[in-house]
Amino acid sequence: MIFTVASDTDTLAQALADRLIVEAQASWAHARPLRIALSGGSTPRRLYEELGQRAATLPWQALEIFFSDERAVGPEDSASNYRLAHLPWLSKAPPGTLIHRIPGELGAQAAADVYEDILQRAAGAGRDLDIIFLGVGTDGHIASLFPGAAFTTTRLAQAVAATPDRQARVTLTLPALVAARRRILLAEGASKADALRASLAPTATTPLARLLARAQVEFWLDRVAAQALCPPP
- Chain residues binding ligand 6PG by CB under 6 A are 39-43, 68-69, 81, 135-137, 141-144
Residue nearest to ligand 6PG (CB): 135
**Sheet (strand 69-71) strand order:** 69-71, 169-172, 157-160
Measure the CA–CA gap between 111 and 16, rounded to whole angstroms: 30
Q: Which is nearer to ligand 6PG, 94 or 148 (CB)?
A: 148
Instruction: Name the H helices within 104-222.
Output: 108-122, 174-179, 190-200, 207-212
* Angle subtended by helix axes 9-28 and 45-53, to nearest 10: 60
Nearest distance in Å: CB 59, ligand 6PG = 25
Nearer residue to ligand 6PG within complex by CB, 33 or 137:
137
User: What are the φ/ψ torsions at residue 36 (nearest 5 degrees)?
Assistant: -125, 145
Rounded to a whole number of angstroms, the minimum distance from the CB of residue 124 to ligand 6PG is: 23
3-state secondary structure (DSSP) of residue 59: coil
The smaller minimum CB distance to ligand 6PG, of residues 143 and 184, is found at 143
List Cβ neighbours of 154 (8 Å cut-off, separation of 6 or more): 175
Choice between 113 and 139, CB closer to ligand 6PG:
139
CB-nearer residue toward ligand 6PG: 63 or 177: 177
- Least Å distance, CB 195 to ligand 6PG, is 9
Q: Which amino acid is at 195?
A: A
Question: Closest distance between ligand 6PG and the C-beta of residue 200, in Å?
Answer: 17
Give least dist CB 78 to ligand 6PG, A.
Answer: 13
Would you say 222 and 193 are in contact if contact means Cβ atoms under 8 Å apart? Answer: no
45 burial via Cβ count (<10 Å: 0-12, 13-18, 19+): middle
d(Cα 155, Cα 146) in Å, to the nearest integer? 16
State the nearest-atom distance from the C-beta of 174 to ligand 6PG, in Å. Answer: 13
Beta carbon of residue 41, minimum distance to ligand 6PG (angstroms, whole number): 3
> Which is nearer to ligand 6PG, 144 or 206 (by Cβ)?
144
Query: Is 24 or 185 the residue whose CB approaches ligand 6PG more closely?
Result: 185
Confirm if 143 and 171 have CB atoms less than 8 A apart: yes
